[in-house]
Structure 1
Amino acid sequence: MKKDKRKQSKLLIVSTLVPLVLLLIVGYIYIGPLFGLPSVGSLFQENRSGVDQAVEETIAELEQEIIQLQTQLRETENELAVMSSASQQSEEETGVQESASVPSQMNGPTDQENRLRSVVNTYKEMSSKRAAAIIDELPFEEAFSHVQAMDESLRASIIGRLPAEKGAELIERLANEGG
C-alpha cells in the first residue's frame, strides 16, 4: 500500500510538473518578449552574428593574401619575361658577332627587326594571359610595336586579355596605321 501511495505521489508530481514546465517555456517564448524579455531567436542570432563576423574577417584576410600573392606572381612573371628577353638578346648578340665576319645582304632584316621577332616568339611561348600582363606594363609605343609585329591570331588572344582601355587604343592605332 505504501508503494501505491508513493507511486501515486510521484505520478501526481510528474503530471503537474511537466505541464507547468511546458507552460513556463511556452510563456517565455510567446509572452516574454511582450514584457521585455529577450526572445529565443535573438539569443541564437547573437551567437550567429559573432560567428559571421569572424568568418567575414577571415575572408577579408584571405582576400588580402590573394591580392598580395597575385601581385607577387605578376612581378615574378615580369622578371621572368625580362630575363628571358635579356637571354635572347645575349644569344642574338652572340649570333650577330658570329655573323659579323659574313657579309650582310642588302635586303636582309635589320638587327632591330630580329630583336622584335625574337620578342614576338617569346610571346608565342607564353600564355596569352601572361603576355597581356607584360604588354600592359610596357609603355604604349613599345607595346604597340610588339603587338604590330605579331600575327593576327596571337594579337587577338593577347589584346582580348588586356584591359579594355589599352586594348581599344592598340586596336585603334592598328586600324589607323595598318597592322
Structure 2
Amino acid sequence: SCAACAPGGRVLEVSAEIKTGLDSAYRHLRELLSAFRTSMPPGGLQQALREVVEELSARAGTEIGLDYRLGDAALSVNEEFHLLQIVREALTNVIRHARADHALISLDCAEGGEVRVRVEDDGRGIQPDSGGEGHHGVSIMRERARQLGGSLSLQAGVDGLGTCVEMRFRPRATGA
C-alpha cells in the first residue's frame, strides 16, 4: 500500500499540484504587472535605467549609481525589456532585503560582443550556499536570463558584505 493510496494521501498529492499551479500563476502575474508598469521611454534603455534608479533611490534612500557603457550595442526591444526587468528585480532585492546604503549598476560589452550587467551592493549579503534560490525573485531573473540565452549568477561580496548579481548574454544581433 502506497502513501498516495492511503486516506489523505491523494489530498496531499492534489494539494501539492494546486500549490505548484498557484506558484506558476503568481509568477506569470508578476511578469504581466511588470510589463504593464514598464514601458521604454524615448531615451531607450539608458533613460529607462535612469528612471528606475531615480524612483528606487528616492523611495528607499539607497544611493544607486549607474555606469552605462553599452555604447551603440544593437539590442532588441525584447532584450532591453528583459535587462531592465532584471535590474529592477535586483535593485528591489537590494532595497527590500539587503538594506544596503549603496548600490552600483554597471553595463558593458566584452570584446566578443557579450553584454554584462552587474548589480552590486554593500548590504547584508546572501546566505552562504543558498544561491538566493527560492526567494527574492531570483528564479524570475534566472528565467529572464535564460530567455536571452544567457546566465545569471549571484556572488557574496568581500567578507560576506554585500552581493553581486551578474547577468551575461550575447545579443541576437551579434550572432553566435
TM-score bracket for this pair, using the shorter chain length: 0.3 to 0.5
Task: Report the structure, 1 or 2, having the larger helix content.
Answer: 1
What is the TM-score when the length of structure 2 is the normalising length? 0.35
Higher relative contact order (CA 8 A, sep 6+): 2
Calculate the TM-score normalised by the size of structure 1: 0.34
Q: Which protein has the bigger strand share?
A: 2
